[in-house]
Structure 1
């Protein structure tokens, strides 16, 4: 049953919606100008791809350690650290593009990858707490704002490129704006989870961390890796991330090669995918409250599976486009549902969300090169069948997302 939102919850909700949009914007704005970065560094496409793997390694390192950091220091400190780290990371990338120094780019890419987790986990944990306080499914709205921010970032990059403004200047301008807004919104965005842990008397969030909580932070974070339900929720998130990330990387190429169409058609197909996913993240959330997480996850898996099959085996681009839209709708809700389920118990939300989101990081690090090898053998369109197979796996473990009430401990 929906609950009445307090001013603090409302403020947190709006602050986090903007934080998600900023996260998408700052990431998409610089990767959208890869040709300029390649030229500034004096490398070819293969060398640039190898350099970007360093960022993926940083993301994986951050994903594997963020649970400890959040449990030990809290979400506000982690988010502040991620914000400060991005200033250093993007600053180094800006210097690299200005000087052509590849070593600076490597350092900046690794720091940014690591700090991505320091931003991603705190904002998702706090968004899940907003959802818990409201008593209704709103987490997909935050992820929709990330998609909107990413689209905005691409437009910003296109605008700077069209105006013939250097990538160095663009990075510094975007970084200054994003950092300022993040700092302004830091306090309201993290107000709901700033204090921890759970009190034994009321089951509510306490007014200060206890020494025992701090001493047990590492044990708590590592313990989340041993929980079968948390790991299976990670599989759900991996499937959703793979469905979304593969479309980002390969869909336009699969359209161009598979249907022998101009590059613009491939870009439009991917744009249709993003629009379908974003719209369904806004409009599909009532389905979660009406039918439950498990049913929505299973229908999403069927939609993804069907959409990919229609795309791969369609005889024409027109019918394949229907598959793209269905695929986008199917990929929309898996990510927020998995994170919401991992946050059912607010006392352990940070470490569990860190574990679950690490599966997304692993997917983004491993999937592109593996799918690239597969695409070289069977074609980009046929390689998409991997997504259909993973959707079946997600369907089979969807029951793990069933809502579990947070335990309320009573003092003896």
Structure 2
């Protein structure tokens, strides 16, 4: 399974590539880019596409995913450096390395394939995994969050490409060959030590910048526990079935959460692990679904002005209840967009979206929160669902384990 996501969209001037060569350079030898001669015509200035930070964040959040061919044609720069998979085998043979697993069959389609390094365009990061790729993808996205100033303000495009389910060396070599061709960085999570070592050596010999995410952590845990790791991928047939008890608990939690959405079936609130309470449009439903996917049974109860809340909300274990609030200006904006999408008339919209009504409704909800001081009050303004969920789960487990009890009526 192969997917790709474009984080930013822009054009930058093409850089010159290293001079042509037919053999693989030694790992310690770095090739220098060829400088253009005065007689060569200057390349036209690349046009930059204007983009706002909000559009860039939206593009990243709605990352475009599509199929990606490994051997697709790439524009050739002035200078080229060629690598070959057969040369990779020859070098390992001359070094005495035992990499028999790296020898592809004659019909593999990559034996003797020449890989030309292309550094034009944006930088690419390849994420390779023998499973779903969740670990590598989230680790890379978390790290890229530290470079938003570059990705947005200074317009340096970065493209991430996920290759999941890569469990054989032949397929892995195809991906590394393409990474060398594009001058991409390779980040991988490979449980099998032999395949991970093959990736490391191939990247070293082909000059591909690489990072093993899973290996160092696995080795550290093995040293701490005094037990050798199995080396079997998480989703391999030899492992216990992924459709275990934990899986069915998540499915049950999602089904429960959907049935309890928007205050439905209040008599079942005592069966919930977490209960969310707040006015309309504070993000209760998406937050409930997110928590349910983690295996928690969640119910959400809307607090509507002049409408009595269900009695069961105050009769259940109050440490299960979490209150949500939001800035009135933000809430009004969200409600206006929601009312317009639903086709509400101006009369209905005035009672739902006007600032005076919004403020009064938030004040009524705040009075309910004050009457129930055990409920933690979480301000969701400007918070992503993941951030709010992290706060709720921390408080939930702190209370469950009777440690680090939060202050009463503390706002988060």
The TM-score normalised by the length of structure 2 is: 0.20
More helix by share: 1
Larger relative CO (CA 8 A, sep 6+): 1 or 2? Answer: 1
More strand by share: 2
